[in-house]
Amino acid sequence: MTIKENIGIAFNSIKGNALRAVITALIISLGIMALVGILTAIDGIKSSINSNFSSMGANTFNIKNKGQSVHFSGKNRQQKKYKTISYTEAKSFASEFHFPATVSMSVNASFASTIKHESLKTDPNVMVMGADANYLTVAGYEIDRGRNFQEKEINHGASHVLIGKEIKQKLFRNKEAIGESILIGGAKFKVIGVLKEKGSSMGFGGDRLVIVPIDVAYQAFSMPNMSSVITVMVKDAQQLNFAIEEASSLFRKIRKLPVMIPNNFEVFKADSVSEDLIGNLKYVTMAASIIGLITLLGAAVGLMNIMLVSVTERTREIGIRKAIGATSSEIKKQFLIEAIVICQIGGIGGIVLGISIGNVVSALVGGGFIVPWFWMGSGIVLCILVGLISGIYPAIKASKLDPIEALRFE
């Protein structure tokens, strides 16, 4: 008997025991859905992390106040308070760093500001950045409408502002924002540019952001311990490490650090945070795999019970088939294929649901549409294994039935 004929018999048997087969297939679907869904979502989150941080480029690094950088892995946490990077030090670095690179200065002026325009206002969760004209380039932002800062506006502390897409939609809706005034705290600023949508899934400002000239940020937002951030984008990524050494040496000189004294600032590559985040996702992947495998184990036990019941109910059928010439091998193959077919029905349903749920999560965090070919293939292979494991014992039991005793069974 061919595999095609055995699959046909399997479907006829499933129709005869539809309720039990559907329940088992649903359990398998849940296991595969958990596995494929969570792993697809994780792939989407990784894609989002990479796109958010790669916008700064593989050829970018930052100089920050030591202890200011976030370490998601829990390593290198600094307890000691270090000297902040002053605006004067940042300006000195920008003027003295003679390397084929773009240098930008920025400062986080506020993490929780309310922005107002006429009768409308935002929630108190807007990030206010002070930056120079090079900031958009090194941070991966683009202008949607209007223009960027000019050097004279930076140098003379003009009350101009660039706003993120979310701020524009909240305060201006369908109106033109360019040329309008907004209030940040008690200070009035003129909108000269609206940024292209970037997404705020990573929680680092995203579209809920306003940027003012760095001079103005230091004057208008007198937060304690405000520390400048220096961002350097080298033209040749292969020169990145050399540029980091040059930058460290120059900044030590600016800070007048003796030779034996370690750096009281941090230099880190733009992709270091993303590597920490992606590294920590492995624990979520492990948890998802364990959940999926436990569910599939339960489904395998349930399917084995169903197949054993099916063998008992179909004892006479097995006896007739053996009496007309079916071998033990053919009987065994029939029940194994039936178990695999049930698993594949549940597996395909689980894969479809898993991809759908995973991509919904991916879309929510700003990732693209993911087609997880690896996880789809893994799901199908897992279903075949579950079918083989759960069907092997009932198949052997069916193949060993004595045809004479089976024909007497009522």
pLDDT digits 0-9 by tens, 97-135 = 999 999 999 999 888 889 999 899 998 889 999 999 999
Domain-terminating residue out of 234, 253, 269? 269
Give the lowest-confidence range in 197-206, 327-336, 394-403.
Answer: 197-206
- Tally the domains of the chain: 2
Question: Residues 125, 253: one domain?
Answer: yes
Domain-terminating residue out of 224, 239, 269? 269
Question: Residues 168, 301: one domain?
Answer: no
Tokens standing for residue 216: 């103005």
Instruction: Indicate whether 161 pLDDT > 70.
Output: yes
Question: Residues 115, 232: one domain?
Answer: yes
C-alpha distances (whole Å) from 160 to each of 132, 284, 286 are 12, 44, 49
| Nearest alpha-carbon partner for 131 in 53, 210, 204 | 210
Is pTM beyond 0.75? Reply is no
Question: Residues 90, 217: one domain?
Answer: yes
What is the rounded distance in angstroms from the CA atom of residue 302 to the CA atom of residue 387? 11
Categorize the per-residue pLDDT at 73 as very low, low, confident or very high, splitting at 50, 70 and 90.
Answer: very low
Residue whose tokens read 């990077």: 85
Question: Residues 168, 200: one domain?
Answer: yes
Question: Residues 103, 25: one domain?
Answer: no
Give the lowest-confidence range in 85-94, 343-352, 372-381.
Answer: 372-381
* Full domain range(s) for residue 33: 3-52+276-408
Tokens standing for residue 9: 């018999």
Tokens standing for residue 100: 């084929």
